[in-house]
Amino acid sequence: AAEMATPVLAELQWGLSDLETRLRRSGARLLEDRRTRLMAVARGLPSRPDDLLALPQQRLDLASSRLGAALHRNASVHEQRLTRISARLNPTLLNRPIERRSDRLSALEARFKPAVDRRLTRDSDRLAALSRALASLDPSRPKPGFARVEDTDGQWITSAHKLHEGQQVSLVFGDGQRPAVIGEGGTTTPPPVPPVATPKTAPKPKSAATDQGSLF
């Protein structure tokens, strides 16, 4: 077995040696190629660094010398345009859009004013109706058919359980007030009022009979 492994090992060593030789040759060719390119580029560069910057410096100097004149020409062109535009600007031209908008606003006002007036009238009528309804609900001024109950101190009595038998109260109506006494069970009994003599009505005189006579 050892004798059979020896030729295989020798073959592997020869293969590795061959690959290593090829790798060194490839590396050498790559380095030589890079060296050749670098030398070619170096031959194209000037020998002094100042010569490398001379051409861009000349271009910069030329642009700087032309910049002032270009700025003056640009300012002159804009000044001429401003002069032409200023000649067309006048109060009439400026007031024309304002007048158009004023006319449009007047037209809109004339169009919407009747609608606004109708809305205000309708809202005013509604407010007046609500005010009347609120006044009719005001306990200090009871409306016809309703009354407010007050104790002897003028305090409002808003609940039946606050009343007791024999309590003196006042019934306040819209056109005046009347005293009353709470009876048994919380019923309100007005004090007796003396009877008022009712004047007798005089009998109507009988009309005198009219003698029409006989028709035959």
Position 126 scores a pLDDT of: 92
**Cβ–Cβ < 8 Å for 132, 153:** no
Angle at 167 between CA 161 and CA 171, to 5 degrees: 85
Q: Please state, as a whole number, how many other Cβ atoms lie within 10 Å of the Cβ of residue 180.
A: 18
Buried b (16+ CB within 10 A) or exposed e, 141-172: ebeeeeebbeeeeeeeeeeeeebeeebebbbb
Q: Of all helices (H) and strands (E), which one includes residue 109?
A: helix 91-136
Strand ranges of the sheet holding 176-182, from the earlier edge strand across to the other edge = 148-150, 168-173, 176-182, 188-189
Position 53 scores a pLDDT of: 78
- Phi and psi angles of residue 172, each rounded to the nearest 5 degrees, phi first: -100, 120
Q: What is the largest CA-CA distance in the chain?
A: 191
pTM of the model: 0.28
Provide the 8-state DSSP code for 157.
-
* Rg of the Cα atoms in the chain: 62
Buried b (16+ CB within 10 A) or exposed e, 65-92: eeeeeeeeeeeeeeeeeeeeeeeeeeee
**Cβ–Cβ < 8 Å for 181, 191:** yes
Highest mean pLDDT among 56-60, 88-92, 117-121, 129-133: 117-121
**Cβ–Cβ < 8 Å for 185, 164:** no
At residue 122, does pLDDT exceed 90?
yes
At residue 97, does pLDDT exceed 60?
yes
Q: Each residue of 170-213: pLDDT tens digit?
A: 988 878 888 999 887 555 555 555 444 444 444 554 444 444 44
What's the whole-number mean pLDDT along residues 3-16? 76
112 CB-contact burial (10 Å; exposed 0-12 / middle 13-18 / buried 19+)? exposed
